[in-house]
Amino acid sequence: MILFKNFEIHDPYPGGFQGFGDVLVHSTGLISEIGPDILAPGAKVIEGNRRLLVPGFCDTHANFGEPGLEYRETVKTGSEAALAGGFTTVFIYPNTRPVIDSLQVLEYLKDKIEDSPIRIEIVAAISRNCEGQLISPVKSFTDAGVHTFSDGNLPVQNSLFMKRACDYLSMFDALVVVNPEDKSMSGSGVLHDGFQSIRLGLPGIPAVSESIMVHRDCEISRETGSKLHFNNVVTREGIEALAFHKARGTDVTAGIAPFYFILSDEDLDWYNTNYKLSPPLRSPSDLEAVLSTLKNGGFDIICSSHTPQSEIEKTTDFLSAPIGAISLETTFSLAFTYLVKTKILSLQQLLEMLVVNPRRRFGSEENPLKKGFKADFVIIDPFETLSVMKETIHSKSKNTPFLNHKLSAVIDMVFTRNRLHSLHEKTSSDYTAHS
């Protein structure tokens, strides 16, 4: 048994425990008791020391590299990065080699996932090889426990195919996840079509390439009755489209990754390829729209959009460089620094977007801090500074625009799957509640 004593507990679930208190974890990995002044003779005691204790986060958008791209991220390194960022559940996307579009690939991954210290949920491809032409075996996937489908960074372009796929997916009550991008419009573009693309002489991606797809897929969702989620909506036009369709009652939700509530295209450091993202960093006016939408509750989820790319691949010119940045380890600290400390969101609101809404929308096991539930929580030191350094990044890749940044709040410990992980002690001090 482990007694977590004198923590500032924030359980964002409705009616969840809020305030100073203790959590007693039983050797089965379940919460035996939560409340003030718990007495547990013989239990190992971990003192709070002004730290926060909150339920483990759930990431609805991460890319690992298995199978086929293990040099970017393995399930093992990705899980370590997730732990370091306080994520105890992570949804991984099918843009692998091969694509997760068959039971064979699913079975291969399931073996790897068993050994992970965190819960990994798989998002299966909507179409074979994410090519937007043949529907992947949806029934087989849902029978195997996969209920989320997406073509990830290769969103379906053909509208009729998308309608048919959504019709089919809706029979299984599956969640359709889209990165909204009209590729015929974004074409060879590599950053926001705006002043910066003009200045650097790089082909731009028009803002409407996003809003067109937000409109299209919302219309398709409405027509087919399928559940729809957008990983990121980052343009003013796209956000307006989203709000319009939400107000109309379409079953649609949206996430937002930290890049898009912190940076704009104007922050691009010359041709630094770590700023090459998909969707691209948009204009300062779009950034403003994202922040005000966060404030008024227009986004449902904060996700990492973790996209590892090897240093070798990123060491090239901007046009040739692959897209994406890692983010699992910094998402909480970035959100805490740029949203909570700036009072755009309360800690409660942030936790709803990192803990509650992701699990509810994506249908993963919930983890309130309540007696009888599996102990699944994160211990955060809000007064410590996180230095984002290449040397201390757990992910196999180091591509992030936040290198050398200093952020508020550090994830100290994670308890999940009946195991306590201390993240900042040199010696391995992981132990289970048995000890």
Partner 1 sequence: MFPSRHFIGIETLSREELLEILSLGAKYRLLLDQDDKNLTDLKNCTVANLFFENSTRTRFSFELAERRLGATVINFNNESSSSAKGETVLDTIKNLEVMKIDMVVIRHTLSGICNMLSRSVQASIINAGEGTHEHPTQALLDVLSLQQHFNEFKGLSVGIIGDILHSRVARSLVFALRLLGANVHLIGPKTLLPAHFERFGVTLHHQLDPILPELDATVSLRIQMERMESGYLPSLIEFHKAYGIDERRIGKMKSHAIIMHPGPVNRGVELSHYAVDSEKSIILDQVTNGVAVRMAVLKMIYEFRSSSL
Q: Can you tell me which of 252, 321, 335, 339 binds partner 1, judged by CB under 8 A?
A: 321
Q: Which is nearer to partner 1, 188 or 296 (CB)?
A: 188
Q: Can you tell me which of 47, 107, 143, 317 binds partner 1, judged by CB under 8 A?
A: 317
> Which DSSP state fits 130?
G
Query: Considering only 54-62, 232-240, 292-300, 311-319, which stretch makes contact with partner 1 by CB under 8 A?
Result: 311-319
**Interface with partner 1 in residues 178-197 (CB under 8 A):** 193-195, 197
Please, what is the minimum distance in Å from the beta carbon of residue 97 to partner 1?
20
Is residue 319 within the footprint of partner 1 (CB under 8 A)? yes
Please, what is the minimum distance in Å from the beta carbon of residue 185 to partner 1?
12
Is residue 316 within the footprint of partner 1 (CB under 8 A)? yes
Is residue 71 within the footprint of partner 1 (CB under 8 A)? no
The Cα 238–Cα 214 span in angstroms is: 6
Please, what is the minimum distance in Å from the beta carbon of residue 316 to partner 1?
4
**Interface with partner 1 in residues 198-217 (CB under 8 A):** 198-202
Please answer whether residues 136 and 105 qualify as being in contact, where contact means their C-beta atoms are separated by less than 8 angstroms.
Answer: no
Return the exposure string of 117-138: e unless at least 16 CB atoms fall within 10 Å of the residue's CB, then b.
bbbbbbbbbbbbbbebeebbbb
Please, what is the minimum distance in Å from the beta carbon of residue 321 to partner 1?
8
Q: Which amino acid does the sequence have at 186?
A: S
Q: Which is nearer to partner 1, 103 or 200 (CB)?
A: 200
415 CB-near residues (< 8 Å, 6+ apart): 2, 25, 56, 375, 376, 377, 378, 379, 421
Q: Which is nearer to partner 1, 195 or 431 (CB)?
A: 195
The Cα 350–Cα 149 span in angstroms is: 25
Return the exposure string of 181-207: e unless at least 16 CB atoms fall within 10 Å of the residue's CB, then b.
bbeebbeebbbbbbebbeeeebebbbb
**Interface with partner 1 in residues 72-91 (CB under 8 A):** none
Please answer whether residues 178 and 241 qualify as being in contact, where contact means their C-beta atoms are separated by less than 8 angstroms.
Answer: no
> Which DSSP state fits 357?
H
> Which DSSP state fits 420?
E
**Interface with partner 1 in residues 239-278 (CB under 8 A):** 270-271
Q: Which is nearer to partner 1, 200 or 323 (CB)?
A: 200
Please, what is the minimum distance in Å from the beta carbon of residue 260 to partner 1?
20
Please, what is the minimum distance in Å from the beta carbon of residue 400 to partner 1?
17
DSSP 234-255: -SHHHHHHHHHHHHTT--EEEE
Query: Considering only 78-86, 158-166, 308-316, 322-330, which stretch makes contact with partner 1 by CB under 8 A?
Result: 308-316
Please, what is the minimum distance in Å from the beta carbon of residue 111 to partner 1?
35
Residue with tokens 């040099």: 71
- Name the helix (H) or strand (E) containing 414: strand 406-416
Query: Considering only 91-99, 207-215, 224-232, 315-323, which stretch makes contact with partner 1 by CB under 8 A?
Result: 315-323
Is residue 404 within the footprint of partner 1 (CB under 8 A)? no
Interface ranges with partner 1 (CB under 8 A): 193-195, 197-202, 270-271, 312, 315-321
